[in-house]
Amino acid sequence: MQDLQKGAILVLSGPSGAGKSTIIQAASEEIGEYYFSISTTTRSPRAGEEDGKDYFFVTKESFEEDIKAGNFLEYAQVHGNYYGTSLKPVREALEEGKLVLFDIDVQGHRLVREKMNEITTSAFITPPTLNELETRLRARCTDEILAVGEYDFIIINDTIDDAAKKFVIVAKAARLKQSQEDEEKFITHWLG
């Protein structure tokens, strides 16, 4: 009996320039169907930006209705416009059995864990040397370095090829993660 692929969440964090998008691109053939979570905003699209690719562009009224309905993982107001992570496309992708990828910071990772811990796996992607990591993080607070221990996996981006192979393993592990409900069903089935 073929199991339907289970939807799962994989959070990726790490300093900018660590190669997250390059690694995802290199591994995309092997990780099954995935949905890359993009932000929703009330600002107007800039030249070359596409709705549903760069951002979901919505009206302020629509955004505020979704806030009231609890449809955002997180949101903020910046220069008079809202930006946020809508849970609606995330839920749809999970129902379709897709792997939902988030490229977010340490705070975002904590929010995802808070709301969807049971189906969340996380990886911190870092450049190959501590010097490089230190240089890239120097502008930020040490919070990001200290938070590395909160992640399930660390992928050191030595070569894109090796990092992509490790990423594929992490993506497959994310899909295999059992929720408490799955475990209870399994136990009930075997004790049945």
Q: 107: which 2 tokens? A: 């705070």
Mean pLDDT of 70-83: 92
Q: What is the pLDDT of residue 15?
A: 80
Within a domain: residue 93? no
Q: What is the pLDDT of residue 137?
A: 62
Q: What is the pLDDT of residue 148?
A: 86
28 lies in the same domain as 79:
no
CATH number reported for the structural domain that contains residue 70 in this entry? 3.30.63.10
What is the distance between the alpha carbons of residues 10 and 27, in angstroms, rounded to a whole number?
Answer: 14
Of residues 15 and 125, more confidently modeled: 125
Does pLDDT of 141 surpass 60? Answer: no
Q: What percent of the chain has pLDDT over 70?
A: 88
CB atoms within 10 A of CB 159: 11
63 lies in the same domain as 115:
no
27 lies in the same domain as 113:
yes
120 lies in the same domain as 25:
yes
Does pLDDT of 175 surpass 60? Answer: yes
Within a domain: residue 138? yes
Mean pLDDT of 29-40: 94
Does pLDDT of 33 surpass 90? Answer: yes
72 lies in the same domain as 135:
no
Q: What is the pLDDT of residue 186?
A: 74
- Domains: count for the chain: 2
116 lies in the same domain as 168:
yes
DSSP secondary structure, 110-136, as one string? HHHHHHHGGGEEEEEEE-SSHHHHHHH
Mean pLDDT of 1-7: 57
108 lies in the same domain as 124:
yes
Query: For the ranges 114-123, 131-140, 145-154, which has the lowest average pLDDT?
Result: 131-140
Of residues 129 and 119, more confidently modeled: 119
26 lies in the same domain as 104:
yes
51 lies in the same domain as 72:
yes
**Which of 1, 4, 12 is closest to 154 using CA atoms?**
12
80 lies in the same domain as 120:
no
Residue 113, Cβ density class (10 Å: 0-12 exposed, 13-18 middle, ≥19 buried): middle
Does pLDDT of 70 surpass 50? Answer: yes
CATH number reported for the structural domain that contains residue 130 in this entry? 3.40.50.300
Within a domain: residue 92? no
| 3-class secondary structure, 73 | strand
Does pLDDT of 152 surpass 50? Answer: yes
The residue segments making up the domain with residue 66 are 40-86
